[in-house]
Structure formats: structure tokens, C-alpha cells
Amino acid sequence: MTIDGYLEAFRREGRIVVVGASLAGLRAAEALRAEGFAGTLTLVGDEPHEPYDRPPLSKQVLLGKVPADHTRLPRVRPVDAQWRLGSAATGLDLAAKRVRLADGDVLDYDRLLITTGVRARPWPQELEAELDGVFVLRTQDDAVQLHHRLAAGPRRVLVIGAGFTGSEIASACRERDVPVTVAERGAAPLVGALGGVVGEVAAELQRAHGVDLRCGVQVTGLEGDSAGRVRTAHFSDGTAVACDVVVVALGATRNTEWLADSGLGAGPRGIACDAGCRAFDVRGIVTDDVFVAGDVARSPHPLFGYQFLSLEHWGNAVAQAEVAAHNMVSASAERRPHLWMPSFWSAQFGVNIKSVGVPPMADQIMVTQGSLAEQRFTAAYGFQGRVIAAVTFDQAKWLDFYERQIERAASFPPEFTTVDRRPEGRQPVAADFPDPSQPSHGPTVTLSGYSPTDRRVSFTPRRA
């Protein structure tokens, strides 16, 4: 049989297994059907719920505006799939093309897509983590429980880690008028994702909204009462705070343990894949029947020095799922690269924060529009003389322009003036990112790996 003939047969009657039934898995399944895949499609998910949307869990759900079980993802098209929900994948046999499930079943595939995503990093002291009142926030079930506790009116909430999730939780607490302490090991909230200059603004924002913000401290212990309920948290500076709810927001861990001895190039930083979403094996050889998409994937991006980017971004999950689905059912000449411009948003303390590009790569920052003091601004980030990222606080309308600047590798600092340029926007300053070898809550973009080539590519996105 010719290879083309194989592809035709595969598209007609092949077997695709998607492990991971959240945003990326669902959108990939829909895209596979849209691409004309008519074979057997199986979706495996460790949670019992149908695919749901996570961004509202730390915002509207905690505020009680939306019930946690009302965030189910809208379906774009019927997927006609066999659903294996509530049954985690536990192993992969690359040679036999077979996935093992926790309930003992095995699923044979012709092509596999891995979209297992990430989970919340738990509190490292297991006994303390088991105290009543100690939470993480990643899943719908987490959100139900946390919302229940917040609604009951706790005396004080402690949020450990001031990344995006931690900051949004603190924001929800304040909006509910619940006293909240935020403990951050770094110098400021969001410092890992946005750097120290913008982190200072985030710190001001938290304090102005009545958050008891403590930076540069670690939580050294959580103490419970005789009934096993959390009562006190101790900090590395010798202080302590009484709290009856603790939310651990220390970033995420990639769900790759089930692949530990599979021979796939999977580890704590995710699963490495090429720009076409094909996974690498441990030898560095790209597979042709295992694809990866979403938070668990890391893939090289030509705009950012071919570094392997792991992105915990909603939009990336959708875009990468669509590319993976297309490539899974296409001949090699028709395959597409995943060249997503990293971007994300956050809503906290009444401010809409948006970002494009890869801020943590930057060495310098310049406030090109607006003012940090007014908490309403656009900042451009520079790396080795080019624009690499931009962040807006309540100025999202300008991001399109900066996205084009990043795509064009425009020079940094920007040579042009703009509307609303203030005195503080005349000179770049150090972006002030913490040493990446000292992870705290972790940024939502991580950079890892490096290719020896550092050629500038011209990258012009196809416009309609």
C-alpha cells in the first residue's frame, strides 16, 4: 500500500485516541471531525465531568455569579466520540500503539493526541495539605469547594503565591469583602510573568484593595487545631497569621507521570514536540503518530529564538489543538506549523490585564503609553534590541499594534512617539525578572531548551 493510500484509509476508518478531555482535547476532537476524519475517535479524561472552561473558576465562580457546574465548554460541532471520562490514562506503549487506563482497559490507536494539561502544584507538606480548609484551585470540584467556603464568610483567607491564579483569588475575596493575606516568595505579585516593574503596580493594586500583601516571605508551616482544621500559618520572617482558609497557588505541574517509562520525551517541563505538534521520543527523534497540544506541550517558536515554549494560555490550547488535529490527518506537505503569538488575559481588582509575546524573555521594559502610577498603561518589553512582548493594564485596545511590532522584530526601545507618552516613558529600564532558577509560583510562559540556530526568520502571519 502506498503511504497516500494509507492516509486515505486512516482518514476513513482509522483509530484516534485523545488523552485529555479539557479545552485542547475537545477542540482537537471537533477539528478532527471538521477536517473530515471519519474513523473511531475516543476521548479519555481523568475528571468525571464533560469538558468545561477554567478561566471563570477563579473569577465569576468564586464571586457566586456563575455556578461552578455552569462553565461547560460550548460545543462547536458534534464530535461523535467514545467518551472515557473519569478514567485516567496510566501508561503508553509506543511500540504496540496502546494506551492503558486506570480501570484496566487498553485502547489501541493508529494516532494518539496527548492533551493532558497541567494540575495545581499541591502544598509540599502532605500532612499540612490535608488539613481541612487547605485548597488548590484548578478543577471544577476545587472551585465548588472553595466557593462554598468563601460564601460561608471565613475570618481570613491566606493565598500562598501571587501569580495570576493567586491574585485573582485574592481579588475575588476582596470583592466578597473577605479579609485576605497574600504571601509571595518573590518581590511582588506577578513578578515571574511580568517582571518587577509591572509587579510593583500589581502590588499597589492589591494593597489599595485591602489585601494584606506580604512579599519576600515563604510560608514555613500550616498549623491546624485538634479537629484538623487549619488555624494558623507561619512565615519565614517569624510572623504568623490566623486563617481558616488557605489557597495554595504555587503554579502548575505538567501531567506527564503516566508517560514516565514510555520512551516519549516527557518530563516535568512537559512533552517536547516539533512546530507541527509531533512529539519527540527520549532519543530526540520525532514520532509520526503521537501528537501533543495545549498546556502539556512545549514546542519551538521561530520568533523567540527557537526556544521551546510551554504556554499555559487558553488561546494557545485552542490554536495548537487545531493545528495538531489538522496535521494528524494530513500528508506531510499539507502540514502546518503552530506559530501562535503567546497571549493571555487576567481580570483582577477591577483591572483587565493583557499580554502578548514572551515578557519573561525580556531584559528591558519601557512604558510607552499611559502611566504606571495611574495603573492604566501599555508597556513594551525588549530583548537584545527588539520588541519581544507587551503588557497592558486597562489598555487592551493597543495590543494589536504591539503584536505586529513583535512579529516584525521591531527595534527596542521604540524609536517613535505615541499618543499618551509620559515622561516615565522616555527611557527603558531593567525589566527586573527574578532568577528563573528560583521558581516561585511560576510564570505562565516558561522557556526551556535552545536550538543552536539563532537566525532571524521573517514571520508574516497569513491574513485572510
Partner 1 sequence: MTSVALLRQVLDYANRPDPYPLYAELRRTPVVRDEAGPYLVSTYWAVKGLLHDPRISSDARNLTPEAAEATGQEQDPNLPPSFLRLDPPEHDRLRRLAMRPFGPPHTPRRVFEMHGELAGIVTGLIDGLRGRDAIDLVDDVSYPFPVTVICRILGVPREDETHFHEWADTIAAGLDPVGTPEERAAKMQDVQQARRDLAMYLAGLIEERRRSPRDDMLSALATEHGPDGQMSPVEMITTSVLLLIAGHETTVNLITNGMLTLLRHPDVLQRLRTEPALAGPLVEELLRFEPPVQMLPQRTTLAEIEVAGTVIPKGAAVYLMVASGNRDPQRFTDPDRFVPDRPDNQHLGFGHGLHSCFGAPLARLEAQLALTELVRRLDAPQLVEDPPPYRQNAVLRGPRHLPLTIGGIRD
Neighbours of 251 (CB within 10 A): 22
Shortest Cβ 420–partner 1 spacing (Å):
4
Q: Which is nearer to partner 1, 142 or 168 (CB)?
A: 168
The residue (of 3 and 464) whose beta carbon lies closer to partner 1 is 464
C-beta of 243 vs 406, nearer to partner 1: 406
Nearer to partner 1, 208 or 457 (CB): 208
SS (H, E, C) 324-360: HHHHHCCCHHHCCCCCCCCEEEEEECCEEEEEEECHH
Residue 423 preceded by cis peptide, ω within 30: no
Rounded to the nearest whole angstrom, what is the least distance from the CB of residue 235 to partner 1 in the complex?
Answer: 34
Residues in Cβ contact with 446 at an 8 Å cutoff, skipping those fewer than 6 apart: 269, 298, 309, 310, 360, 436
Q: Are 42 and 16 in contact (CB under 8 A)?
A: yes
Cell 466557593, located at residue: 147
CB of 399 to partner 1, least distance (A): 8
Query: For residues 360 and 414, which CB has a smaller minimum distance to partner 1 in the complex?
Result: 414
Separation of alpha carbons 364 and 253, rounded Å: 29
Are the C-beta atoms of residues 196 and 187 closer than 8 Å to each other? yes
Q: How far is the CB of 175 from partner 1 (least distance, A)?
A: 13
Q: How far is the CB of 411 from partner 1 (least distance, A)?
A: 13
- Closest approach of Cβ 400 to partner 1, in Å? 4
DSSP 62: T
Nearer to partner 1, 231 or 386 (CB): 386
Nearest approach in angstroms of CB 160 to partner 1 is: 30
Determine the Cα–Cα distance for residues 204 and 372; give it in Å rounded to an integer.
10
**First and final CA of the chain: distance in angstroms?**
37
User: 12 or 65: whose CB is closer to partner 1?
Assistant: 65
What one-character DSSP code corresponds to residue 144? H
> Could you tell me the smallest distance in angstroms from the CB atom of residue 347 to partner 1?
11
Min CB(323)–partner 1 separation in Å: 19
Spatial distance between the Cα atoms of 292 and 259, rounded to a whole number of angstroms:
13
DSSP string, 218-284: -EEEEEE-TTSBEEEEEETTS-EEE-SEEEE---EEES-GGGTTSSBSEETTEEEB-TT-EEEBTTS
Q: Which is nearer to partner 1, 235 or 398 (CB)?
A: 398
Q: Which is nearer to partner 1, 166 or 370 (CB)?
A: 370
Instruction: Report the nearest approach of partner 1 to the CB of residue 422 (Å).
Output: 9
Query: What is the smallest separation between the CB atom of 337 and partner 1, expressed in angstroms?
Result: 22
Of the pair 20, 370, the CB lying nearest partner 1 is at: 370
Backbone angles phi, psi at 93, to 5 degrees: -110, 100
Q: Which is nearer to partner 1, 346 or 368 (CB)?
A: 368
SS3 364: strand
Q: Which residues contact 444 (CB under 8 A, 6 or more apart)?
A: 163, 164, 193, 311, 312, 313, 344
The runs of H, that is alpha helices, within 286-441 are 314-328, 399-407
| Minimum gap (Å) between residue 5 Cβ and partner 1 | 34
C-alpha cell at 322: 487545531
Measured distance CA(257)–CA(255) in Å, rounded = 6
The set of residues, in sequence order, having a beta carbon less than 8 Å from that of 413 and lying 6+ positions away, is: 364, 366, 380, 382, 427, 428
Q: Which residues bind partner 1 (CB under 8 A)?
A: 368-371, 374, 376, 378, 397-398, 400-401, 404, 416-420, 463-464
CB of 316 or CB of 378, closer to partner 1: 378
